[in-house]
Amino acid sequence: MELSLDTKALDELSEAVRSCGRMAKEKQATIHRSYKSDGSVLTETDLAISAKILAVVAQLFPQANIISEETLTPYREDAPCTFVLDPIDGTDVYSQGLPSWAVALGILDRDRKPVGAMISCPRWGLGEDELYVRLDPGKELLVNDRPFSMGGEKSFPHQITMGSSGQRLMDFSHFDGKIRIFGSSILHMLSPVLYDHIQGCVNQSCYVWDIASAHAVLLHCGMDIEYVNGKKFVYDDAFLLERKPFSPSFYAGTKECIKALGEVLPPK
């Protein structure tokens, strides 16, 4: 059954995500960089956005689950949907002043399928200074409030995006294309959809909040993700509830592109 959520409530939530992105942009020059116990970077902006979005979701969608990178919350199997929040995807690059980061909120349906996304990238864009991606469940994809259609030929990976650990994990001996590394899993995964001349993505191990929103956009556009060993990617309990990173790496793109990536850029 297709997930149906109140449009006015989604409008209000979308505005909150967008305003958090713009707030993060304003604060970027003065943030303080600290570290979590696992060594990953944390800023005060991550915590402020997490608190803001969690409060808005709880108010507008009280029956829904929400999973946030920075806050532990209850999870109910019978909830109609699950919101998955990364307050800042690309905190490391954000803390260094770089532009390639995103406030990302994904929506999973009851079957844990990614079906919606609200992604604010106020220092990124398509030839303009700001990118806002919105996909309401069952609705058209909007980029900067305009309907968006994917362009370009996407069957072979002439140009791809990749995480910064790809050089250690993948075999480049048969790959002759170009690689772009931005520092944000969300932007890496969105790129084959948004940019005509980028066909695919190789993403290394990370967490559910790093991929859920962009995965919804990929699925909407006829793309998907698949582990580099050929197995289907699933949102199992370990990944979604136990907050464990997926493994191994995955390919993202059309079926044809994923097949080609497996041939020209296999794991070591």
Judged by DSSP in three states, 143 sits in strand
**pTM (2 decimals)?**
0.95
> pLDDT category, 46, cuts 50, 70, 90?
confident
What is the DSSP-derived secondary structure letter of residue 210? G
Calpha distance 160→145 (Å, rounded):
26
Judged by DSSP in three states, 253 sits in strand
CATH topology of domain 7-147: Fructose-1,6-Bisphosphatase; Chain A, domain 1 (3.30.540)
CATH topology of domain 159-264: D-Maltodextrin-Binding Protein; domain 2 (3.40.190)
Calpha distance 92→87 (Å, rounded):
13
Amino acid in position 46: D
H or E element in which residue 106 lies: strand 102-109
Is the predicted pLDDT of residue 41 greater than 80, yes or no?
A: no
Calpha distance 83→60 (Å, rounded):
12
Q: In the chain, which segments carry CATH 3.30.540.10?
A: 7-147
> pLDDT category, 39, cuts 50, 70, 90?
low
**Cβ-Cβ contacts under 8 Å for 172 (sequence gap 6 or more):** 265
Convert the pLDDT of each residue in 93-150 to its tens digit.
Answer: 998 999 999 999 999 999 999 999 999 999 999 988 899 999 999 999 999 999 999 9
Calpha distance 139→246 (Å, rounded):
29
> pLDDT category, 42, cuts 50, 70, 90?
low
Strands 141-143 and 146-147, by their bridges, are antiparallel
Is the predicted pLDDT of residue 166 greater than 70, yes or no?
A: yes
pLDDT of residue 81: 97
Q: In the chain, which segments carry CATH 3.40.190.80?
A: 159-264
Is the predicted pLDDT of residue 11 greater than 90, yes or no?
A: yes
